[in-house]
Amino acid sequence: MKIIVLAGGLSTERDVSLASAAGICRTLIDKGHDAFLLDVFLGLENAPKNLEDVFTLPGHGLEIAKNISTEEPDLAAVKASRPDQSDCFLGPNVIELCRMADITFLGLHGGEGENGKLQATFDLLGIRYTGPDSLGCAVAMDKGFTKQIFLQAGIDTPAGVCLHKNEADSSLTSLGLSLPVVIKPCSGGSSIGVYIVDTEKEYEEALEKSFRYEDEVVIEQYIKGREFACGVIDGTALPPIEIIPKTGFFDYANKYQADATLEVCPADIPEDVEKRMMDLTVKAFRALKLNVYSRADFLLDDAGNLYCLEMNTLPGMTAASLLPKEAAAAGIEYGDLCELIIRKSLEARYSS
């Protein structure tokens, strides 16, 4: 198959996306596909005269891949580096190459890649792509909306509220919450802009910092517990994985800094808890109108209560990411996982 692996963009998770997509591209090449790694924002400025030759270029576009920094990317510098200085999200030749491909593998994380807008654009243009469709992505990207849907569906989630920037002077008491709380951007990812606060001063400072990322944040009751993730493919849950940071919580640095976090899969939990987590993952997947694949994040408190925090519609896909580790525990190797996602995406939207 001719496959464009789309990555990068202007999300704070840009570096994570490039690393994920490079792994996907390499394994698809090993599987015999004509795959090419393409940055959705920077595009391909100096393309061959015959654009279709891109799929057989020796480097496969992998020169744009980079290691994940423990610091957020400089998005202003990324914008400044685009030769045509356009602010269009889709860079030179992106649409043309995606239309030529048999399918576009979405290796994007966060922002415009995961909020449903790109998926809707591709639907209108007749471009085939992997992962959930536009409705599921749009719904799951909004953590406040997700929380409401979870509660309506009977899926336990920490008590919380959404707060807009013009309401930043609201006290916790007026919001019906008490310290400690967690503050996070409504549509962010990779735990960027997430703060656990114990005092009023920390609360005010965290709001100010979190509002730098978005104009709406979620404030929720802090739940002390063990952290887990549980993937789902085509409505079937994978074995849960436990995430044990050596310090603090599973924030951006702990996610991507070598040896900062211990990940145990299958998770060392009682069979009934594992089954409950897997059932809740599928329930959340369906409640949010998702299809193909995604990954749920959970907390398990000392009393055995499970809280679903959110669903990631395009979870990390490096070989060391959570979803591939869960798939490996279920007997699905990394390359087979990438091909399975392609096959399930084609079945979900493009088989007739």
pLDDT band (50, 70, 90) for residue 250: very low
Q: What percent of the chain has pLDDT over 90?
A: 78
For residue 78 the two structure tokens come to 């990324």
Tally the C-alpha atoms within 13 A of residue 227's C-alpha that lie toward its C-beta: 18
pLDDT (0 to 100) of residue 260:
63
Alpha-carbon gap, residue 352 to 344, rounded angstroms: 14
pLDDT, position 352: 67
pLDDT of residue 274: 98
Q: Are residues 240 and 345 in the same domain?
A: yes
Among the three residues 194, 221, 248, which one is the final residue of a domain in this structure? Answer: 221
For residues 17 and 99, membership in a common domain is answered with: yes
- Say yes or no: 248 and 200 in one domain: no
Q: Do 229 and 211 fall within a single domain?
A: no
Whether 135 is in a domain gets the answer: no
Give yes or no: residues 58 and 121 share one domain.
Answer: yes
pLDDT mean over 18-34: 96
Q: What CATH number does residue 262 fall under?
A: 3.30.470.20
User: Please, which residues bridge with residue 310 across strands?
Assistant: 297
Spatial contact of 107 and 54, defined as CB atoms under 8 Å apart: no
More confident residue, 296 or 73: 296
Give CA–CA dist 167/292, Å, rounded.
37
In a shared domain, residues 95 and 194: no
Helix (H, G, I), strand (E, B) or coil at 164: strand
Q: Which of 180, 200, 221 is the last residue of a domain?
A: 221
Q: What is the mean pLDDT of the chain?
A: 92
Domain assignment present for residue 144? The answer is no
Nearest to 262, CA basis, from 250, 253, 274: 250
In a shared domain, residues 93 and 106 = yes
Residue 117 has pLDDT above 80, yes or no: yes
Which of 338, 314, 313, 311 has its CA nearest to residue 324?
Answer: 338
End-to-end CA distance of the chain: 19
Judgement on whether residues 197 and 271 belong to the same structural domain of the protein: no
Does residue 233 sit within a domain? yes
Distant-in-sequence, close-in-space partners of 225: CB < 8 Å, separation ≥ 6 = 299, 300, 301, 302, 307
Gap between the Cα atoms of 171 and 200, Å rounded: 9
What residue numbers bound the domain in which 170 lies?
Answer: 159-221
Q: Report yes or no on 153 lying in a domain.
A: no
In this prediction, residue 49 carries a pLDDT of 94
At 146, give phi and psi (nearest 5°).
-55, -45
Q: Over 80: is that where the pLDDT of 247 sits?
A: no
Query: Which CATH number does the domain housing residue 53 bear?
Result: 3.40.50.20
Residue 70: pLDDT band by 50, 70, 90 thresholds? Answer: low
For residue 236, being part of any structural domain is answered with yes
Please check whether residues 228 and 213 belong to one and the same domain: no
For residue 147, being part of any structural domain is answered with no
> How far apart are alpha carbons 304 and 285 in whole angstroms?
22
pLDDT at 190: 47
User: How many structural domains does the chain have?
Assistant: 3
Nearest-angstrom CA–CA distance, 9 and 89 = 7
The answer to the question of residue 146 being in a domain is no
Q: Which residue has tokens 């996982």? A: 337
Rounded Cα distance, 312 and 240, in Å: 14
Residue in the structure block whose two tokens are 């990411």? 321
> How many CB atoms lie under 10 A from the CB of residue 158?
19
Look at residues 101, 91, 78 and name the one whose alpha carbon lies nearest to residue 11: 78
Same domain (yes/no): 232, 171: no
**Angle separating helix axes 143-152 and 271-287, nearest 10 degrees:** 110
Query: Could you tell me the strand order of the sheet in which 2-7 lies?
Result: 34-39, 2-7, 103-106
CATH code, domain carrying 216: 3.30.1490.20
Q: Do 19 and 111 belong together in one domain? A: yes
Residue 134 falls inside a structural domain: no
Token pair belonging to 22: 């490079």
Measure the CA–CA gap between 274 and 282, rounded to whole angstroms.
13
Residue 251 has pLDDT above 60, yes or no: no
| pLDDT value of position 169 | 84
Q: What is the pLDDT of residues 131-182, one digit of tens each?
A: 999 999 999 999 989 999 999 999 999 999 999 988 888 889 899 999 999 9
Residue 337: band (very low, low, confident or very high) from pLDDT cuts 50, 70, 90: very high
Task: Return the residue matching tokens 């959570």.
Answer: 322
pLDDT at 252 over 70: no
Encode pLDDT of 312-335 as tens digits.
999 999 888 999 999 999 999 999
Give the integer Cα–Cα distance in Å for 116 and 19: 21
Cβ-based burial of 110 (10 A; exposed 0-12, middle 13-18, buried ≥19): buried
Estimate the crossing angle of helix 322-329 against helix 334-349, to 10 degrees. 100
Residue 193 pLDDT exceeds 80: no
Residue 99 has pLDDT above 90, yes or no: yes
Place of tokens 């055995």: 304
Q: Are residues 246 and 217 in the same domain?
A: no
Asked which of 129, 148, 167 is the last residue of a domain, the reply is 129
Q: What are the φ and ψ backbone dihedral angles of 126, each rounded to 5 degrees?
A: 75, 25
Pairing state of beta strands 103-106 and 2-7? parallel
